[in-house]
């Protein structure tokens, strides 16, 4: 299958290209420098030239705090840009897989958010991603999938796990928030799931995240246990960080769809990530 990947130079995009190539697909990989997703004419030209059967859109504004200061710019990429790619895919007869986020929810639930749960983003980033979901659905009608995921980490970009490893080399005590609960998701597990969704043209909204859940404090502890770094990790509160963007307190995703890919537990993702980074797990 001919497959086009936007945002192919990002943490998730690199793994999607690798997964698609390993699956035997003919992949066109476009980085941010090669395709500005906000440029409709460029998107149409790229899709017409590549003539893919499916597109996986990994292009995104991922700076959550930066989006609070520049919501219009974030929405241009995450909202209008997503719609631009979906429209270009529809014009080329391609199925589009769009990656979204747990931030479209308020983060106040007491049980996992399912695909049909009411959306109510509390941050500029969440609003920009919800705008993208709606733009994709409007532009691509019945030939799209919106895949919500959460707490991504992987070897090809900055992420929480690697930040903890670096800080663990610099300090013997850290304070990490313990009042946010979510599903850490390894990009090496998510990427082949996205390719599978494209292959089987599984449409609509799907929740695909690492199995199980934990807090950032628990993820930090698990990281240090595996790397052997001797760090005392204190429980912290989100409110004490003073970040510009509000964070969802509860970001656990669930699914009612039998055809949604099921990812391994987040602990296996952590092990795989550390192995990819040549750190014994």
Strand ranges (E), 155-209: 173-177, 181-182, 185-186, 204-207
Residue 211 contacts residue 262 (beta carbons within 8 Å): yes
CA-angle at 105, arms to 272 and 115, nearest 5°: 75
Token pair, residue 258, equals 């039998």
125 is catalytic: yes
Cα(172)–Cα(195) distance, integer angstroms: 41
Q: Which of 103, 113, 125, 186 is catalytic?
A: 125
Query: Residue written as tokens 């192995």?
Result: 275
Query: Residue written as tokens 């979906």?
Result: 86
Query: Residue written as tokens 């690798």?
Result: 18
Query: Residue written as tokens 């893919």?
Result: 52
Coil/strand/helix, residue 207? strand
Cα(281)–Cα(279) distance, integer angstroms: 6
**Residue 108: count of CB within 10 angstroms of its CB:** 10
Catalytic residue annotation: 125
């Amino acid at each position: 299958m001919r497959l086009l990947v936007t945002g192919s130079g990002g943490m998730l995009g690199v793994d999607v290209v690798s997964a698609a190539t390993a699956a035997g697909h003919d992949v066109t990989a476009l980085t941010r420098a090669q395709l500005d997703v906000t440029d409709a004419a460029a998107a149409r030209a790229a899709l017409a030239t590549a003539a893919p059967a499916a597109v996986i859109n990994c292009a995104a504004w991922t700076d959550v705090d930066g989006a609070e200061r520049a919501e219009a710019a974030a929405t241009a990429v995450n909202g209008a840009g997503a719609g631009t790619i979906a429209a270009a895919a529809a014009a080329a007869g391609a199925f589009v897989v769009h990656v979204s986020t747990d931030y479209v929810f308020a983060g106040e639930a007491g049980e996992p958010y399912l695909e049909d749960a009411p959306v109510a983003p509390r941050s500029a980033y969440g609003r920009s991603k919800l705008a993208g979901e709606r733009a994709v659905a409007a532009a691509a009608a019945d030939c799209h999938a919106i895949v919500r995921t959460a707490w991504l980490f992987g070897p090809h970009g900055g992420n929480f796990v690697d930040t903890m490893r670096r800080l663990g080399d610099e300090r013997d005590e850290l304070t990490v928030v313990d009042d946010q609960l979510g599903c850490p998701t390894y990009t090496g597990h998510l990427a082949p799931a996205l390719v599978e969704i494209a292959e089987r043209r599984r449409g609509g909204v799907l929740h695909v995240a690492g199995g199980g859940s934990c807090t950032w404090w628990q993820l930090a502890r698990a990281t240090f246990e595996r790397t052997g770094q001797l760090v005392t990790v204190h429980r912290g509160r989100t409110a004490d960080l003073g970040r510009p963007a509000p964070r969802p307190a509860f970001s656990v995703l669930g699914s009612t769809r039998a055809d949604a890919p099921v990812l391994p537990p987040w602990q296996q993702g952590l092990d795989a990530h550390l192995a990819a980074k040549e750190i014994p797990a």
